[in-house]
């Protein structure tokens, strides 16, 4: 996912009361996935076949899921699946052409994990069998958003999309919802005739619009990468193996903005080995998409807030593409190991951006990342600051912010610096090959790192130093601190301008990247007079910017400083986007400025209808916390 705004963590992560220096005497199992009910030690799913109808009036998917199961434990007679807000109508056990209806019952619902589904299977069922489950989703599904026409770009057709990571696949398919299990899948999806369905599978750009679509996903994927969207979607190619799906109204802008996608794909293959997934396409969704992007295999889901018109925000595309290796090919074994997905992907993303654009631009992005990391480290409790913190299934509002992204990236940059780029690239290439289509824990990563790099004679890094990164809070000694001359200069000018030492007209904003403008805004002193803010707003058109990241930065400042002249535009920003990263910190700044908690709640009440359920729940949680 992208980026540094981990909704997952909110709904699922938590911690136990154990400080890092304490010896762990309880039975916490770092290799266990605490976010699933599935008994994967007894049964594993190998294949999923879906037959679903998308009913926009009822806001539900309904039909069948057939799970091909393998029994690992010959004595086990009960399969436990994950569900959330699903209505299960019938369950049958299928073997050798015979169908037998099966007893099933739902367990107790859990706030963040959903509801376990217990299915009895005959004791003589044998090693392999199918489960046929008839079900429908609920309009409350945490993964699915059903958008009415007025919330789409075209305004004429409804649109639906899913967001399964981390634990939301279970709210549209009953399954073993854990990254530890990989499945192949196929699907038939029925839609209103004028609409097109796409999935994280073999989308064919030439598919005729018939209202019935078939998909195959021959490469095994973890459940959080199951994805679907239905809408008035059209395709345009970006290159030989790359293209973009979106509503026709956004197609030209998307083709322009993401023109470098094919080059990124070819470069990524050159750096870290073959792309294993066939085509690589993008799906540009309506503004309510909760993330920057979601790396659904073969088809990354993307926020339209990247359409800045100048390709300045396409590091998100590099990020989602990089996940085709780090995350989708080699997958974190549990969500506690999420840094292996996100930190490695953030590192890979900046390596791609260095070549496709230039090092200076990437250094600017690194400095901004580092600044956000320092802010996170002030907020996130110490026991959650390790790359691999202790996580279990108790609900908690604590979260890791962007630590697993940024600190993970810095860890890999630290290793690169220590061993040299060439040796480290070789290491990563062999890592992707070694663990391809598998899952990996932090401990397995450390073992592999030790075997291939740390154990070399004269290694500049010890295992103990590496474990500092994975298990300890804060940033270890030797952390490579990002530097950018451009941003240093923007910062110096921001301070000089605030002190009336230079005029706004003397500052070379025309030559500034969006990143430099962001840094300029962030560098302004806290006591800057409102007249100066007004001058800046007018000079740079900040309140009406088309660049969503600049808007985010500006409106955080507006809310923090209570610069009420820009509040009207701030509300426009908050209702224009549903991407958590762009709006949550603005709500938070409003709620925390000592005066505007009520206003924040009012704006939220007006805007929430357009937000994805995950975003709405997260912002509501933040406002409730601020109120208490």
Closest residue by beta carbon to Zn ion: 1
Residue 294 CB, shortest distance to Zn ion, in Å, is 8
Q: In the Cβ-directed half-sphere of 161, how many Cα atoms lie within 13 Å?
A: 33
Please tell me whether residue 611 adopts helix, strand or coil conformation. Answer: coil
Q: For residues 58 and 264, what is the distance between their CA atoms, to the nearest angstrom?
A: 41
Q: Is 320 exposed, middle or buried (0-12, 13-18, 19+ CB in 10 A)?
A: buried
Residue 624 CB, shortest distance to Zn ion, in Å, is 27
Q: For residues 345 and 146, what is the distance between their CA atoms, to the nearest angstrom?
A: 30
User: Encoding tokens for residue 597?
Assistant: 């908690």
Q: Count of residues binding Zn ion (CB under 5 A)?
A: 4
Angle subtended at Cα 316 by Cα 311 and Cα 320, rounded to the nearest 5 degrees: 130
How is 130-157 classified by DSSP, letter by letter? EEEEEEE--TT-SSEEEE-GGGSSSSSS
Please tell me whether residue 192 adopts helix, strand or coil conformation. Answer: coil
Instruction: Using the rule CB under 5 A, give the single segment among 57-65, 254-262, 344-352, 423-431 that binds Zn ion.
Output: 344-352
Instruction: Using the rule CB under 5 A, give the single segment among 1-9, 201-209, 363-371, 569-577 that binds Zn ion.
Output: 1-9
Closer CB to Zn ion, 340 or 487, in the complex: 340
Active site residue 405: yes
Q: For residues 284 and 410, what is the distance between their CA atoms, to the nearest angstrom?
A: 30
Residue 442 CB, shortest distance to Zn ion, in Å, is 17
Indicate which residue of 186, 320, 364, 491 is catalytic.
320
Closer CB to Zn ion, 7 or 570, in the complex: 7
Closer CB to Zn ion, 119 or 264, in the complex: 264
CA 415, 418, 421, 422 torsion-angle sign:
negative
One character per residue 287-326, x = contact with Zn ion (rule: CB under 5 A): ----------------------------------------
Q: In the Cβ-directed half-sphere of 383, how many Cα atoms lie within 13 Å?
A: 13
Closer CB to Zn ion, 294 or 308, in the complex: 294
Q: What does residue 624 show for φ and ψ, rounded to 5 degrees?
A: -65, -40
Indicate which residue of 405, 431, 512, 611 is catalytic.
405
Please tell me whether residue 82 adopts helix, strand or coil conformation. Answer: strand
Q: Which of 1, 284, 614, 623 binds Zn ion (CB under 5 A)?
A: 1
Instruction: Using the rule CB under 5 A, give the single segment among 94-102, 308-316, 341-349, 600-608 that binds Zn ion.
Output: 341-349
Residue 346 CB, shortest distance to Zn ion, in Å, is 7
Q: For residues 290 and 377, what is the distance between their CA atoms, to the nearest angstrom?
A: 23
Residue 315 CB, shortest distance to Zn ion, in Å, is 11
Binding status of residue 189 toward Zn ion by CB under 5 A: no
Instruction: Using the rule CB under 5 A, give the single segment among 26-34, 42-50, 338-346, 592-600 that binds Zn ion.
Output: 338-346
Name residues contacting Zn ion, limited to 243-282 (CB under 5 A): none
Name residues contacting Zn ion, limited to 4-43 (CB under 5 A): none
Instruction: Using the rule CB under 5 A, give the single segment among 81-89, 197-205, 337-345, 589-597 that binds Zn ion.
Output: 337-345
User: Encoding tokens for residue 458?
Assistant: 């004269």
Active site residues: 320, 405
**Residues at the site binding Zn ion, with contacts judged by CB under 5 A:** 1-2, 342, 345
């Amino acid at each position: 996912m992208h980026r540094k705004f981990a909704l997952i963590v909110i709904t699922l992560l938590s911690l136990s009361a154990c400080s890092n220096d304490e010896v762990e005497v309880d039975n916490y199992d770092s290799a266990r996935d605490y976010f699933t009910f599935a008994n994967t030690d007894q049964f594993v799913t190998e294949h999923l076949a879906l037959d679903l109808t998308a009913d926009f009036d009822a806001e539900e998917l309904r039909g069948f899921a057939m799970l091909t199961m393998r029994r690992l434990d010959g004595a086990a007679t009960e399969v436990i699946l994950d569900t959330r807000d699903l209505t299960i109508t019938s369950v049958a056990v299928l073997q050798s052409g015979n169908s037998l209806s099966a007893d099933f019952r739902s367990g107790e619902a859990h706030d963040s994990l959903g509801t376990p589904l217990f299915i009895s299977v005959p004791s003589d069922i044998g090693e392999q069998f199918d489960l046929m489950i008839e079900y429908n989703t609920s309009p409350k599904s945490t993964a699915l958003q059903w958008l009415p026409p007025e919330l789409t770009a075209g305004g004429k057709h409804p649109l639906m999309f899913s967001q399964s990571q981390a634990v939301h696949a279970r709210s549209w398919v009953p399954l073993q919802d854990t990254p530890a299990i990989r499945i192949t899948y196929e699907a038939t999806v029925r839609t209103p005739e004028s609409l097109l369905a796409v999935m994280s599978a073999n989308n064919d750009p030439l598919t005729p619009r018939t209202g019935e679509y078939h998909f195959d996903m021959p490469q095994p994927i973890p459940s959080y990468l199951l994805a679907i969207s239905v809408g008035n979607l059209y395709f345009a190619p970006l290159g030989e193996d790359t293209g973009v799906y979106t509503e026709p109204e956004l197609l030209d802008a998307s083709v322009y903005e993401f023109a470098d996608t094919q080059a990124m794909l070819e470069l990524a293959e050159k750096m870290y080995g073959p792309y294993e997934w066939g085509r690589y396409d993008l799906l540009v969704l309506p503004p309510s998409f909760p993330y920057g992007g979601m790396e659904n295999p073969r088809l990354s889901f993307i926020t339209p807030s990247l359409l800045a018109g100048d390709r300045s925000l396409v590091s998100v595309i590099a990020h989602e593409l990089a996940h085709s290796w780090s995350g989708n090919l080699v997958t974190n074994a549990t969500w506690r190991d999420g840094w292996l997905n996100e930190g490695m992907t953030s590192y890979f993303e900046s390596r791609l951006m260095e070549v496709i654009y230039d090092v200076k631009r990437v250094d600017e992005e690194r400095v901004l990342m580092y600044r956000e990391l320092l802010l996170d480290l002030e907020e996130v409790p110490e026991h959650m600051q390790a790359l691999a913190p202790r996580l279990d299934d108790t609900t908690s509002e604590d979260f890791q912010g962007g630590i697993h992204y940024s600190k993970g990236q810095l860890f890999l940059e630290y290793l690169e610096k220590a061993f040299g780029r060439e040796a480290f690239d070789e290491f990563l290439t062999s890592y992707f090959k070694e663990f391809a289509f598998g899952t990996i824990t932090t401990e397995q990563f450390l073992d592999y790192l030790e075997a291939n790099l740390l154990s070399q004679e004269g290694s500049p890094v010890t295992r103990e130093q590496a474990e500092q990164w994975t298990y300890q809070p804060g940033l270890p000694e030797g952390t490579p601190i990002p530097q950018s001359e451009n941003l240093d200069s923007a910062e110096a000018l921001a301070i000089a301008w605030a002190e009336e030492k230079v005029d706004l007209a003397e500052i070379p904003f025309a030559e500034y990247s969006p990143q430099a403008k962001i840094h300029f805004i962030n560098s302004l002193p806290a006591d800057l007079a409102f007249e100066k803010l007004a001058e800046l707003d007018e000079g740079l058109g900040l309140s009406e910017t088309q660049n969503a990241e600049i808007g985010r930065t500006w409106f955080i400042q507006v809310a923090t400083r209570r610069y009420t002249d820009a509040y009207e535009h701030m509300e426009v920003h908050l209702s224009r986007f549903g991407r958590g990263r762009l709006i949550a910190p603005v709500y938070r700044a409003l709620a925390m400025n000592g005066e505007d908690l009520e206003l924040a709640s009012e704006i939220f009440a007006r805007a929430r209808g357009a937000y994805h359920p995950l975003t709405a729940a997260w912002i509501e949680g933040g406002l409730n916390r601020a109120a208490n």
